[in-house]
């Protein structure tokens, strides 16, 4: 439990550091009529969006940390039975890693203004994310077929909770992904959306790797 919480503390510290970086160069007092003031206003708007994402990630990380703390405490009860995790979780994990890699590839292409490559990578990232979500539903079906229902064991309940909450975060992210994949604005706006998606998917990949490791070992 201590190792997991330390890891979450490190993750939160990383998010805070990222937030500080987004606002370090913002100077909102520059006059609006000045060309530098207009450029700085755009930078301030971009930074505020990134700060919003960072705050959301902090809240999400805190939520998962609380769930994991409750999970570790509940394990100490006498009615806890170790869950036989579906083998499909290994394939699902590999799929989510691939999705995150395609988001990174899309971001790199956006930075170079290679928008055709960006959209191709972005599309594949979304497809692999959908495959991951379908795979998680398949894992639920396998557990149900084996008689591992939500109410039959506390470990089962936490498995469904972890995968459901993580899946809902991904589904919410797909809405932003759709806007990024269909965006036709200026280059800066497109790069911003792709960057936010990439950061978000990397975060959810890290969260899933923590949850997956925890489920495998408990």
Domain assignment of residue 205, given as a range: 85-218
The residue among 29, 51, 74 that closes a domain is 74
Two tokens, residue 135: 């795979």
pLDDT tens column, 118-163? 999 999 999 999 999 999 999 999 998 888 887 778 888 999 999 9
Give residues with Cβ within 8 angstroms of 197, minimum separation 6: 103, 106, 122, 125, 173, 176, 177, 180
Q: Is residue 155 one of the residues assigned to a domain?
A: yes
Domain final residue pick, 74, 104, 129: 74
Count of the separate structural domains present in the chain: 2
Residue 110: which of 101, 120, 124, 100 has the closest Cα? 120
Residue 103 within any structural domain of the chain: yes
- Who's near 113: CB < 8 A, 6+ residues apart? 187
Same domain, yes or no, for 137 and 38? no
State pTM to two decimals: 0.83
Q: Check: CB of residue 152 under 8 Å from CB of residue 122.
A: no
Last residue of a domain, one of 74, 102, 125: 74
User: What's the confidence (pLDDT) of residue 4?
Assistant: 60
Provide block-wise average pLDDT over 10 residues at a time, the chain (218 residues): 61 63 52 47 60 84 89 85 89 97 94 89 96 96 86 87 95 88 72 89 94 86
CA distance 125 to 121: 6
Quote the pLDDT of residue 52. Answer: 81
């Amino acid at each position: 439990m201590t190792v997991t919480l330390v890891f979450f503390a490190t993750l939160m510290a990383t998010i805070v550091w990222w937030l500080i970086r987004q606002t370090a160069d913002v100077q909102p007092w520059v006059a609006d009529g000045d060309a530098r003031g207009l450029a700085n206003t755009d930078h301030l708007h971009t930074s505020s969006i990134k700060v919003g994402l960072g705050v959301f990630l902090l809240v999400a990380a805190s939520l998962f940390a609380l769930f994991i703390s409750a999970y570790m405490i509940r394990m100490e009860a006498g009615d806890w039975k170790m869950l036989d995790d579906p083998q499909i979780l290994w394939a699902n994990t590999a799929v989510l890693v691939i999705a995150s890699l395609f988001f990174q590839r899309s971001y790199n292409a956006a930075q170079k203004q290679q928008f055709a490559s960006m959209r191709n990578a972005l599309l594949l990232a979304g497809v692999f994310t959908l495959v991951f979500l379908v795979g998680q539903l398949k894992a639920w079906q396998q557990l149900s077929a084996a008689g591992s229902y939500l109410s039959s064991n506390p470990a089962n309940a936490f498995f469904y909770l972890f995968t459901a909450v993580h899946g809902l975060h991904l589904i919410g992210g797909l809405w932003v992904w759709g806007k990024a994949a269909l965006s036709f604005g200026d280059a800066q706006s497109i790069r911003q959306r792709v960057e936010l998606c990439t950061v978000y998917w990397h975060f959810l990949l890290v969260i899933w790797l923590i949850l997956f490791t925890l489920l495998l070992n408990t």
